[in-house]
């Protein structure tokens, strides 16, 4: 990490060094044309096409280094930002829409507990002691907790089976690990995903803006496709209700053929990828033709 002290002209960008967010972060950076090469022995990688140094850190530490340190940018989970109590000291730029999971209160599936209130005064184990503590303080309605919270950094789901806890507060993605440990969720404290965060006063605001724009483009390309079709001008107002575009649709006049009575136009619009089939069917039904859909590799929005 001594190399950090010799990078005065580079933006420091903190990203998770391992875990559930690491691979997705690397894919996002590659798609955003942030080119780097990371040695397996180093937690710092210099970008070759932008004045950026990537700093690979535990996801839980990233909010602190962005909020109080020299990192201008970071990617970490919303759960980690709130657990570190750094939300007021960073700027939340983007929800990156990956790494989605829930922070849930879990108890033995065959046990007596079915409501959070039943665990007041009991033993709770979590790696999210602040969020768990805030939850039980609200539940108890007082500042001093009667519920016993204990921090465990790993294998939290084993705590009940090993007799350490009556319940746990832990992240649930698919629920497979929870069920394998014989647990069930009885309430959700927080729904979380990966977020792009920024220092309140970044040292390199122009580069921050470039990175944000690139990532916004990748997210839009993943969410939308480009739909092109032809339609009589008389139907334009109706088809634009189906394909209004992300901001608006592009409409171009088509050359009128001799045998055609009505004027036609070409329409191009970004539409939700998940709704592509329904949109094409609706356009065809209303009278549009030559309906084509193209994937978007990258864009700026």
Mean pLDDT for the stretch of residues 167-191:
95
pLDDT at 282: 97
72 and 117 belong to one structural domain: no
| Enclosing domain of residue 260 | 224-295
- Residue 217 domain flag: no
pLDDT at 260: 67
Q: Does residue 1 surpass a pLDDT of 60?
A: no
73 and 186 belong to one structural domain: no
**CATH number, residue 241:** 3.30.70.120
Q: Does residue 143 surpass a pLDDT of 90?
A: no
197 and 73 belong to one structural domain: yes
Distance CA 168, CA 275 (A): 39
Distance CA 273, CA 296 (A): 10
Check: pTM over 0.95? Answer yes or no. no
pLDDT at 162: 93
Are the C-beta atoms of residues 73 and 211 closer than 8 Å to each other?
yes
- Residue 34 domain flag: yes
Q: What is the residue-averaged pLDDT of the chain? A: 93
Angle at 75 between CA 70 and CA 81, to 5 degrees: 85
Q: pLDDT tens for residues 229-249? A: 999 999 999 999 999 999 999
62 and 116 belong to one structural domain: no
Distance CA 30, CA 93 (A): 19
132 and 81 belong to one structural domain: no
pLDDT at 261: 73
- Please tell me what DSSP assigns to residue 185: E
Q: pLDDT tens for residues 255-301? A: 877 676 789 999 999 999 999 999 999 999 999 999 999 999 999 88
Q: Does residue 141 surpass a pLDDT of 90?
A: no
């Amino acid at each position: 990490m001594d190399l950090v002290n010799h990078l005065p002209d580079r933006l420091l960008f903190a990203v998770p060094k391992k875990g559930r967010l690491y691979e997705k972060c690397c894919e996002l950076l590659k798609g955003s044309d942030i080119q780097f090469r990371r040695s397996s022995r180093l937690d710092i990688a210099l970008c070759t096409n932008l004045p950026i140094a990537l700093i690979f850190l535990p996801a839980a530490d990233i909010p602190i280094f962005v909020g109080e340190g020299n990192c201008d940018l970071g990617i970490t989970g919303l759960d980690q930002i709130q657990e570190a109590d750094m939300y007021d000291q960073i700027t939340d730029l983007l929800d990156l829409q990956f790494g989605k999971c829930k922070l849930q209160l879990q108890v033995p599936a065959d046990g007596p507990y079915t409501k959070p209130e039943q665990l007041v005064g009991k033993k709770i184990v979590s790696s999210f002691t602040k969020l768990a503590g805030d939850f039980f303080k609200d539940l108890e309605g007082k500042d001093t907790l009667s519920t016993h919270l204990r921090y465990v950094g790993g294998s939290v789901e084993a705590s009940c089976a090993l007799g350490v806890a009556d319940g746990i507060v832990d992240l649930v993605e698919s629920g497979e690990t929870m069920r394998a440990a014989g647990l069930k969720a009885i309430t959700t404290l927080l729904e979380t995903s990966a977020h792009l965060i920024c220092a309140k006063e970044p040292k390199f605001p122009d580069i921050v803006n470039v990175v944000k724009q690139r990532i916004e483009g990748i997210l839009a390309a993943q969410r939308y496709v480009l739909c092109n079709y032809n339609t009589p001008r008389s139907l334009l107002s109706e088809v634009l209700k189906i394909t209004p575009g992300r901001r608006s649709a592009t409409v171009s006049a088509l050359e009128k053929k001799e045998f055609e009575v009505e004027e036609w136009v070409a329409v191009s619009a970004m539409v939700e990828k998940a709704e592509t089939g329904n949109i094409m069917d609706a356009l065809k039904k209303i009278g549009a033709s030559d309906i084509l859909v193209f994937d978007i590799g990258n864009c700026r929005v």
